[in-house]
Amino acid sequence: MKTLITLIMLVAFCSCTKHKEEIELKLENDTIIACSNENCGIVNIIKYSITNNSDNFYYINNICIDKGVFKRAIYSDGVNLQIYNQFDKEIKYNSNTNYPKKENNIYSYLIENASILEKSLDYDNQVGFYRNFGYKNFYIYPGETIYFEYSLNLNSTVGYEAVRVGLISLDKREDYKATVSISSDSTNYKNILPRDILKTIKTNKVKVYHGIIESNKVPIKVL
């Protein structure tokens, strides 16, 4: 009987204990500001932290080829911001983008610079790490917490964003919440990352994380 009671208490304790993800993403803002007017100029400073709760030394590879970890929402600076309505359903976003276009002088300049860099480093092939823009790659040690921030106008692109996908104007009569996520792809990193990073990963037994890391939700205030 004692054993049964102990077992029941143990199960109850485990059920009440909050599960911690290996990589935990926390949105640090109390509130995100949005507008009902698409010409609104309010810029948020999005603040978030990433904690490695595991015993593994991880590398986050934000250059995603695998569609299973690719998420389309309001994307900027390697981060997706998703918005949910009062029924916890994700809303639809305007699909406007400001990816550098191939016919654009800026795109040509960036690719030309990447090509020069590859040749100077004696690469015979193109290196995706040098040819992709607007992503966020980094290492994170076991037990480490890293803090980030970036600026974001939900209604419009901002001139200094390398890549921006998704715009939104919200209804001030409705309630919304926001969450952020970062994707990491381990499927093809050996063909994307440069030699020095690959050597660091191998020598230090670093694991390339695979999956979408999602944060908590915070309320959105619509003006």
For the stretch 79-122, pLDDT in tens is 999 999 999 999 988 876 665 555 556 778 888 899 999 999 99
**By percentage, how much of the chain surpasses pLDDT 90?**
63
Parse the chain into domains and list their residue ranges.
Answer: 20-97+135-222
Contact 74, 152 (CB under 8 A): yes
Cα separation values, 106 from 32, 95, 110, 129, 189, Å? 31, 21, 6, 18, 26
Write down the number of H helices and E strands in the chain: 4, 14
pLDDT 10s digits, 126-182: 999 988 888 999 999 999 999 999 999 998 877 667 788 888 889 999 999 999 999
**Mean pLDDT across 39-51:** 92
**Mean pLDDT across 196-203:** 98
Look at the alpha carbons of 210, 211, 216, 221 in this order and tell me if their dihedral is positive or negative.
positive
Q: Which amino acid is at 125?
A: N
Burial class of residue 187 (count of CB atoms within 10 Å of its CB; 0-12, 13-18, 19+) = middle
pLDDT for position 10: 39
Pairing label, strands 44-52, 23-27: antiparallel
**Mean pLDDT across 74-79:** 92
pLDDT for position 24: 98
pLDDT for position 67: 85
Residues 6+ apart with CB under 8 A from 148: 47, 48, 49, 50, 79, 136
Higher pLDDT, residue 18 or 36: 36
How many angstroms separate the CA atoms of 168 and 179, rounded?
Answer: 15
Q: Tell me the pTM.
A: 0.84
Mean pLDDT of the chain: 86
pLDDT exceeds 80 at position 15: no
pLDDT for position 13: 38
Cα separation values, 216 from 24, 26, 102, Å? 9, 6, 37
pLDDT exceeds 50 at position 17: no
What are the residue ranges of helices labelled H in the chain?
2-16, 105-120, 128-131, 195-203
pLDDT exceeds 60 at position 62: yes
Look at the alpha carbons of 209, 212, 217, 219 in this order and tell me if their dihedral is positive or negative.
positive
pLDDT for position 103: 56
Cα separation values, 111 from 22, 62, 117, Å? 36, 19, 10
pLDDT exceeds 50 at position 9: no
Top CATH class of 20-97+135-222 equals mainly beta
**Mean pLDDT across 11-21:** 49
How many angstroms separate the CA atoms of 90 and 179, rounded?
Answer: 10
**By percentage, how much of the chain surpasses pLDDT 70?**
86
